[in-house]
Amino acid sequence: MRDQVELRAVDIDSLIGQDHPARVIWAYVEGLELSELEDRVKARENRPGHPAPSPRLLLALWLYATSDGVGSARALDRLCDSHDVYRWLCGGVSLNYHTLSDFRVGCADLLDRLLSEHLAALSKAGLVDLEKLAQDGVRIRANAGTGSFRREATLDRQMAQAKAVVEELKREVDADPEASNRRIRAARERAARERSERVQAAQTALAELKRKRKQLDDKGGNGKKPKEPRASTTDPQARVMKMADAGFRPAYNVQVASAAGQPIVVAVDVDNNGSDRGLMRPMLERTRARLKRFPRRHLVDGGFCSAEDIEWAHGQGIEVYCPPTKSRSGVDPFLPRSSDGPGVLAWRARMASDAGTAQYQARSICECIHARWRNWDLRQLTVRGIDKVRAVVLWYALTNNILQGHRLANA
């Protein structure tokens, strides 16, 4: 009788195998010192309030969900009730998607610290070489539509309309004595106020775009007639960028530094510039903050090639490996130029040698990290703003290192 209902006892620990990745992640989380998160919990024993879920549980859930391609708090909440792996991680603890969502974007500092500590442990065990790093960037689709971008005149008009609506709704709320209508109008007033705040943020972003364009014009421009700048009212920090398929869409430029020849993330950064040029130095400074030293060698592709950055790196004792840009006039790019400094001269000679070419080949492994993240469904972001995007990218970086470090340790 298929319509019968049966009640069966379930051994939660038997829901997954002994070598399941969820056990690897839980073993990692169990050994962490998370007092900074646990001290934030206000609902304690013998005090009013619902017991808060353990930060270890939330951390483990999001780490495994990241490796499983789950990027939505609502989807994760449903899986915690229906999927055996997530039920095993929860151990019978009930959660809600608000808690999961807030935790995902609210602990970027913790994730950054954990990434540093895990990287140090891998280095101490001799599993990763941090003397030679590779850097690569990828554009990730932003959580904003192309139609949300507005020009200055449109933003000014929308701002005036939003302010007028807010003032009108405030007067209605104050004048209406009926509580139910007052609550409805208060909600409408709040929505209108949030709309005006988004438009104001877009105006601020537009002013920043104009400032950067003026700096470019002062340097001589790029030879192209500039279009009137626009900013998004959905995600003001997103920018329209050229994607891998040659299309143009709102996106963020996610930069990853990894151990050359190994898919281990050393540092991440998020930028809203559509070009990689000029982003090598900020990444090197970020890696110094994490490792307390610069790498000896740094491998990047031709999009990062900047004489100013190469000279700076040379002054810091860093050998840059980057293929020179081919000249349209057919001039050999490896030949010295009269304007070259000592760092650029050394770089040209280095890249013209067979030894330099051999060193540069290790850079391609860095792209495997982006491929793995795409397999984990990091194709379009579900959050808005650079800070939240960076928090999401840190989840992917830490998850990558935990699982890859486990493979290296057991190889």
pLDDT digits (tens, 9 = 90+) for 223-243: 566 677 788 888 888 999 988
State the Cα torsion 287-288-290-292 to the nearest 10°: 150
Rounded to whole angstroms, how far apart are CA atoms 367 and 381?
19
- Whether the CB-CB separation of 139 and 378 falls below 8 Å is answered with no
pLDDT of residue 36 exceeding 80: no
pLDDT of residue 287 exceeding 60: yes
Please give the structure tokens belonging to residue 400. Answer: 């990558």
Rounded to whole angstroms, how far apart are CA atoms 213 and 267?
29
DSSP code of 5?
Answer: -
Please give the structure tokens belonging to residue 343. Answer: 């760092």
pLDDT of residue 260 exceeding 80: yes
What's the pLDDT tens digit per position in 115-135? Answer: 999 999 999 999 999 999 999
pLDDT of residue 45 exceeding 70: no
Return the SS3 of 253: strand
pLDDT of residue 220 exceeding 60: no
Q: Which residue has the higher pLDDT, 108 or 176?
A: 108
pLDDT of residue 377 exceeding 90: yes
Which amino acid, 346? A
pLDDT of residue 283 exceeding 70: yes
Rounded to whole angstroms, how far apart are CA atoms 19 and 4?
35
The residue with tokens 């929505």 is: 191
H helix runs in 266-385, sequence order: 280-291, 307-315, 342-352, 354-360, 366-375
Amino acid 41: pLDDT: 64
Q: In which band, very low, low, confident or very high, does the pLDDT at 175 lie, cut at 50, 70 and 90?
A: low
Backbone angles phi, psi at 13, to 5 degrees: -70, -20
Q: What is the pTM of this model?
A: 0.86
Return the SS3 of 133: strand
Rounded to whole angstroms, how far apart are CA atoms 85 and 259?
31
Rounded to whole angstroms, how far apart are CA atoms 164 and 169?
9
Q: Which of 18-27, 87-96, 350-359, 373-382 has the lowest mean pLDDT?
A: 87-96
134 - beta bridge partners?
258, 299
What's the pLDDT tens digit per position in 390-399? Answer: 999 999 999 9
Please give the structure tokens belonging to residue 310. Answer: 């190469």
Other beta carbons within 10 angstroms of residue 337's beta carbon come to: 12
Amino acid 52: pLDDT: 74
The percent of the chain in helix, strand and coil, each rounded to the nearest 5, is 55, 10, 35
Q: In which band, very low, low, confident or very high, does the pLDDT at 95 lie, cut at 50, 70 and 90?
A: confident
Q: Which residue has the higher pLDDT, 278 or 266?
A: 266
Q: In which band, very low, low, confident or very high, does the pLDDT at 411 lie, cut at 50, 70 and 90?
A: confident
- Whether the CB-CB separation of 42 and 124 falls below 8 Å is answered with no
Average pLDDT over residues 348-373: 91
The residue with tokens 């997954």 is: 16
In Å, the largest CA–CA distance within the chain is 88
Average pLDDT over residues 105-120: 93
Q: In which band, very low, low, confident or very high, does the pLDDT at 284 lie, cut at 50, 70 and 90?
A: very high
* Mean pLDDT, the chain, whole residue set: 85
CA nearest 256: which of 356, 359, 115?
115
Q: In which band, very low, low, confident or very high, does the pLDDT at 264 lie, cut at 50, 70 and 90?
A: very high
Q: Are strands 149-150 and 132-141 parallel, antiparallel or unpaired?
A: unpaired
pLDDT of residue 10 exceeding 90: no
Q: In which band, very low, low, confident or very high, does the pLDDT at 136 lie, cut at 50, 70 and 90?
A: very high
